[in-house]
Amino acid sequence: MNMYLIAVLCFLLLSWLLSCAASYLNARAMRPEPPEEFADAIDAATYAKARNYARATMRHTLISSTTDTALVLIFLLAGGFNWLDTLIRAAGFGPTPTGLLYIGALALGSWLASLPFEVYHTFVLENRFGFNTTTLRTFAADRIKGVILTAFLGGALLAAILFFFQYTGQWAWVWCWGFATAFSLALTYVAPTWILPLFNKFSPLENEELRRTITDYAAKTGFQLSGIFVMDGSKRTTKANAFFTGFGSKRRIALFDTLVNSHGPEEILAVLAHEVGHAKLGHIRKRLVASILKTGLIFFLMSLVMNSPALFRAFGMEHMSIHAGLVFFFLLYTPAAMLLSVAENALSRRHEYQADAFARQTTGRPEALVRALKSLSVSGLSNLTPHWLAIWLEYSHPPVLDRVRALRTSGENART
């Protein structure tokens, strides 16, 4: 048996096993009673609901991830990759359009396969626990806009990558790296004005008291802010959040309406101060640099394996091509992707503690952030005592209990 085939099969099974194990252990790790720090924030009935939510989410993950993996394995072992290639080659287009059609068809197939699970997640699971506010119309519109955006933006990026690998020889990976970096920077730049408004409405914050609290804080910490907006997050979910968009003097803060409506100014300021912390401590820049380096690594590794005839034999291909090589690379890349994401999550959790400490120092009110964190995790029915494997693999934020304890520990940067 071909070594590449053995590797891909092992990686697929291993990542399926790990994700199922993490999900199962995480649901089981939820203790029968809430931690004592939460005694004042959660009642027995809500805590029981949170445990049921954790179990229901776990079952959904097990079923969707098993179906996903099974479909990929069946397609692979039944010779689906070569079948599709033969079908599209018969149309007689050049290498780049053929590649676009090939990867487009695979992406469409995988999107269609995941659609029933998304529908179930939104309209059954999230609905049963009272989170879902998405109408069928919003759901359909989101999917249609998503597909059109992906087809245009993803298609343009993919066409460039196929072109570079076809025509620029051994330095193709450098061309791809440069192009993909410029492309994603440009997207980040236009997203707040062109892309986000396609999905949500942003209106200036009207609450005078809150507006003053935020502008005073921004002035005090020397943080430039070009606007404070409220986003209609309640259009899809009752879960609350806040985030920044844009760079430098164009920076805006977007608060979910669900956050504004259910929290006092002190708590909202604490959440905002945490976000300011990310910007002031250079986390956003560090994440950007890390993701640029990762893109370079991906294209470099890609250029190493893409032309190996054994790789194409592993998938039963009659012809070698850039487009099929790209797809096979991503199947082989699974373990590296997992290790990188573990490292990224660890870095991100560290940044969360640092941003919390920043909010504590600059507002002087750690308890306001504690209250906000507690109420956000209770209303989101979060797992208050997650399992270490799930944290290690999937958590970009530390468990809320650890954050609360760190905020209450006196002394500078206790957990950073």
Provide the binding-site residues for Zn ion, judged by CB under 5 A: 352, 355
Q: Which residues are catalytic?
A: 275, 356
285: number of CA atoms within 13 Å, CB side?
7
Comparison of 51 and 278: residue with beta carbon closer to Zn ion: 278
Comparison of 180 and 391: residue with beta carbon closer to Zn ion: 391
Comparison of 236 and 283: residue with beta carbon closer to Zn ion: 283
Rounded least distance, CB 274 to Zn ion, Å:
6
Rounded least distance, CB 17 to Zn ion, Å:
30
Rounded least distance, CB 348 to Zn ion, Å:
8
| Distance separating alpha carbons of residues 243 and 271, to the nearest angstrom | 10
| Distance separating alpha carbons of residues 129 and 133, to the nearest angstrom | 11
According to DSSP, the residues that pair with 315 across neighbouring strands are none
Rg (CA), the chain: 24
Rounded least distance, CB 397 to Zn ion, Å:
7
Residue with tokens 């245009």: 152
Which long-range CB contacts under 8 A does 97-101 form with residues at least 24 apart? 98/321, 98/323, 99/158, 99/162, 99/321, 99/322, 99/323, 99/326, 100/155, 100/158, 100/159, 100/162, 100/323
Comparison of 118 and 394: residue with beta carbon closer to Zn ion: 394
**Cα distance from N-terminal residue to C-terminal residue, the chain:** 49
Residue type at position 158: L
Structure tokens at 36: 């004592």
- 202-204 β-sheet, strand order: 202-204, 227-231, 252-256, 242-245
Name 121's Cβ contacts closer than 8 Å, sequence gap at least 6: 60
Comparison of 126 and 352: residue with beta carbon closer to Zn ion: 352
Comparison of 24 and 353: residue with beta carbon closer to Zn ion: 353
Structure tokens at 276: 């300011």
Residue with tokens 């909202």: 268
Rounded least distance, CB 149 to Zn ion, Å:
26
